[in-house]
Structure 1
Amino acid sequence: MKKSYFKRIVLILILIIIGIYFIPAPKATFFELYSINDKYSKSLKEFQAKPTKEVTVNGIKWIYYTGGSGPKTILFIHGMGGAYDLWWQQIIEFEKSYKVISYTLPEKINSLQKTSKGILEILKTEKIDKFYVVGTSMGGYIAQYLVSTIPNRIEKAVFGNTFPPNNLIAEENKTKSKILPFLPEIVISKLGKKTLDKKIIPAAKNSKLLKAFLPSLPFSKKQFINRYNIVIDKFTVNPTKYNIKRIPKLIIESDNDPLIQPQLRQQLRSLYKNANVYTFHNEGHFPYINASEEFNNVLRNFLNEKNEYLEVEKIITSYFKGRKNANLEQLQLAFSKKANLYTTHKNKILIIPIENYYKKVLLDGVQQANTSILNGDVTGNIASFKTKFEYPEKSYMDYLTLLKIDSGWKIISKTFTKIN
C-alpha cells in the first residue's frame, strides 16, 4: 500500500516537473505594459501597423521591414533579444531620406554564416548592392562579420554597444551554457527578467519606455540558445586590410553598459583603431531606445560625413584614366601643379617635374594597362597610397602622397619603380 502511494507521489512530481518544463514564458504586449499615451507609444503603434515582407532561405522564413526610398540604404541589425521593430525610432527618422531595412532573426538561425546568408538574400530581393550597416549588441557583432566577409558592399559601418571576436564571453558563460538547454523556458525568462530589473533598467536611468518595451519582445528558449551561439561564433577580421580599412566605422558605447564589459569595449576600440567613437554617459545598453534623439543625431552626423578614402580614390582613378587614355585634363585634375615624380636612375635620385611627365604621357599616347589600389592611409588632410600599373610587358609600383586643399585632394608626389 505504501509502495503504491509512493509511486503515485513520484509520478505526480514527474508530471509537475514536465508541466513546468513546457510552460511557455509569459508574454505581454508593449501597450499592456506602457499605459502612457505619448509620442513613443503612438509612433510604435503606427510603425507596427505597417506591413512587413517575407523571404525564405533554406526552408526558413525571414520577416523583414523595408521603407523609404533614398539613394542610400541602411541595414539595421537588432541585438540578442530583439526583433525588427527594435529600431522603430531610427527607422521612422531615417526613412525620410534613406531606404531602410530591418529584419527579425529567425528562431532557427544559430551561426554567423547562416545569418549572413539570410541577410544577403534580403538584400538580393530588395536589389541592394552597397549599403550602410548599423548593428547593436549581437547585431554589432554580426555587422563586424559582414565587414570582414563582404567589405566591398559596405559603405559605412556602425558597431553599437557591442564586442569584438573574443574568448571572454564563452569562458564566463561556460557553465551556464551547459545548464541552459535543460532549464524550463519559464525559468530562463525569469532569470532574464531579473537581469532586466536589477541591471539593464537601472543603467538606463530607470526608463519606463525601456521597461515596457524589452519584455514585449518575442522570446523562446530555442531563440535564446541559438542567438547565444551566434554571439560566441568566432571569426577573424583584419582591420588593416585596405578594403576593410577604407570603410568608415563608428563605435557607439555607453560608459555604464551593464552587458558589455569595459575590457571588451577597450578591445573593440583597439581592434578598429581608425574608427570614430561616441560614448553615451549613463544611458546603459539601449541608448537607441531610451536616448533615441541623441542616438539619431550621432548616427545622422556620421552618415553625412564624407568618406575621405572614397574622395582620394576618385582622384587616383582620374590619374589612372588620364595615364591610360593620355588625357591631360584628367591628369591635371589629379595632380597638383607643383607635383613632382621621383625614381632612381643609375642609383641616383631622378626628379621629374609634372610638366615633363605630361609631355611623356602625350608622347606615349593611349596605353593598355591594368591599374589597382593596393593599400592606403588617410590621416586628416594627408594621404599615402600604394598603386600598381600592369602593362603587357612591364609593371610599375607607385607610392602617391596627397594633400587636401581648398579644391580637394591632389597628388603632390609620385615615387615609382619598375618591378618587372
Structure 2
Amino acid sequence: MILHGGGSVGEASFRYILSLSEEYKVIAPTLPVGVSTVEDTVKGLHTICEKEDIEEVHFLGFSQGGMIAQCFVRAHPELTQSLILFVSMGPSQDYAKKFNQYRTMIGLVPAPLFRLLSKYFITKQISAESVNSSEAEKEFWLTFSREMFESRRMNKELMLSQTDVLIDYFENYRFTKDDLETWDGAILIIEAENDRIVSDKERQDLKELYPQVKTILLENSGHFGTGLLQPMEIINKISEFVSNSSQQGQT
C-alpha cells in the first residue's frame, strides 16, 4: 500500500504503482477531505484491507505517509509485513508548532490565492531539486503538479485535512524503541541527504527509534529529488526489500 505525502494525492506515485504492480497488488489511496485525525486515517486504511481481503500489507509511505504507516503497524501489527519510511519522521513537538502556524495561514488564504501560491512553491521546489534531471523530466513534473492544483484534485480543503492529520500526529503521538518489540516485520528507512523539510535532527531521531533497520541515503537529493525525478533505481531497491520481507515472513 502506497501512502502519499502531505500536499499530494495517490496517483502522484504512478511510477511506483506501475512498477511494483508487476509483482504485487498495489493500492494507493488519497486521504479524503474531512479526515482530520490519525485514528480515522488508520481506521480507513484498515477498512480498505478488510474490503480487499488483504491478510498482510507492505507500506511504502512518503513523508506524511510514512508517519501514518508507523501508526498503522502499532494498531495492526498482525497485518503489517513491512514499512518503507521514505523521507519520513517520528512525532515532534517542534513540528506541531510549525504546522499549527501553517494551518492558520492556509485557513486565512482564499482558495484562488491558495492555488496560486501552491503552484509557485511547488514550481520553486521542483526546479531547485531537478538539477540532475533532464529538462523533459523537470517539465513533466512541473506540469503535473500545476495541473493537480488547477484541476482542484489538490485543493485548500484537502490540504487542511492533511495538515490536521499531521498536527494530530505531531502533537498526540509518542513512540518508543520497545513499541514493536514483538513485531517480526521489517523496516527500511530512505532519507534524503539535502532534505530541507525533515531536519537532520528528525532524521537522526527516526534512525534511533529503529536502530536495527536498513537505511538508504539518497545522496545530493532533497525531499522530492531522487524519489520523484529519478525513481527507477530506488524502486528496484524497494522491490527487492519487499520480496525479502515476504520471504522472511513465510519462514
CA shift for structure 1 position 78: 0.9
Q: Is the 8 A contact 2:3 2:62 kept in 1?
A: yes
2:27 alignment partner, SS class: strand
Task: Show the counterpart of 2:57.
Answer: 131
On the 8 A contact 2:31/2:41 being kept in 1, the answer is: yes
Match among 231, 236, 240 for residue 301 of structure 1: 240
CA contact (8 A) 1:148 1:237 kept: no
**CA, structure 1 residues 237+309, in 2 after alignment: closer, same or farther (shift >3 Å)?**
farther
CA deviation digits over 1:157-191, x for unaligned, max 9? 10111121111212234434333312111222233
Local SS of the residue matching 1:100: coil
- Give the conservation status (yes or no) of the 8 Å contact 1:283–1:291: no
Give 1:251's aligned residue: 189
Counterparts of 1:338-349 in structure 2 under 5 Å?
Answer: none
Q: Report how far residue 220 of structure 1 moved.
A: 1.5
Change (3 A) 1:82 1:199: closer
- Correspondence 1:28-47 to 2 at 5 A: none
Number of aligned pairs? 237
- Over 3 Å counting, the alpha-carbon distance change for 1:128 and 1:175 in structure 2 is closer
CA distance in structure 1 between the aligned counterparts of 2:7 and 2:104, rounded to whole angstroms: 20
Please tell me whether the aligned partners of residues 203 and 256 of structure 1 are also in contact (alpha carbons under 8 angstroms): no
CA contact (8 A) 2:80 2:185 kept: yes
Per the alignment, residue 228 of structure 1 pairs with 163
Is the 1:200–1:285 Cα contact (8 Å) retained in structure 2? no
**Taking structure 1 as reference, are residues 163 and 176 closer, same or farther at Cα in structure 2, changes over 3 Å only?**
same
TM-score of the aligned structures, taking structure 1 as reference length: 0.53
Mark the CA change 1:176 to 1:125 in structure 2 (over 3 Å): closer, same or farther: closer
- Give the counterpart of 2:201 among 253, 257, 263: 263
The aligned amino acid for 2:25 is K
Identity of aligned residues (%): 23
Residue 214 of structure 1 is matched in structure 2 by: 145
- Look up the SS of the partner of 1:104 in the other structure: coil
Q: C-alpha separation between the residues in 1 aligned to 2:29 and 2:104?
A: 29
1:120 matched to 2:51? no
C-alpha change, 1:247 and 1:237, in structure 2 (3 Å) is farther
* 8 Å CA contact retained: 1:77, 1:133: yes
What letter is aligned with 1:151?
A: P
Distance 1:191 1:95 in 2: 34
> Would the alpha carbon gap of residues 303 and 252 (structure 1) be closer, same or farther in structure 2, given more than 3 Å must change?
same
Name the residue aligned to 1:91. 17
Shift of 1:79: 1.1
Deviation, 1:235, is 1.7
Give 1:192 deviation, angstroms: 2.2
Give the Cα–Cα distance (whole angstroms) in 1 for the partners of residues 199 and 126 of structure 2. Answer: 13
Give the Cα separation in 2 of the matches to 1:238 and 1:134: 21
| Aligned residue among 279, 291, 295 for 2:230 | 291
Confirm or deny: 8 A CA contact 1:80 1:224 kept in the other structure: yes
Equivalent positions of 1:30-179 (< 5 A) are 75-179=1-105
Conserved 8 A contact 2:82-2:245: no
In our comparison, the structure showing a higher alpha carbon Rg is 1
Asked if structure 2 preserves the Cα contact closer than 8 Å seen for 1:203 and 1:257, the reply is no
Letter in 2 for 1:223: L
Task: Note the residue ranges of structure 2 that are not aligned, 5 or more in a row.
Answer: none
SS for the counterpart of 1:239 is: coil
Tell me the alpha carbon deviations over residues 302-348 of structure 1, each in whole angstroms, 9 at most, x when there is no partner.
1132579758xx5xxxxxxxxxxxxxxxxxxxxxxxxxxxxxxxxxx
Tell me the CA shift for residue 88 of structure 1.
1.1
2:110 is matched with 184
Q: Which residue does 1:279 correspond to in 2? A: 217
Deviation at 1:128, TM superposition (A): 0.5
> Which of residues 181, 202, 212 is equivalent to 1:242?
181
Q: What's the CA shift for 1:146? A: 0.7
Would you tell me which structure has more helix in proportion to its own residues?
A: 2
> How has the CA–CA distance of structure 1 residues 83 and 142 changed in structure 2, closer, same or farther, with 3 Å as cutoff?
same
Secondary structure of the equivalent of 1:219?
coil
Q: TM-score, normalised by structure 2?
A: 0.86
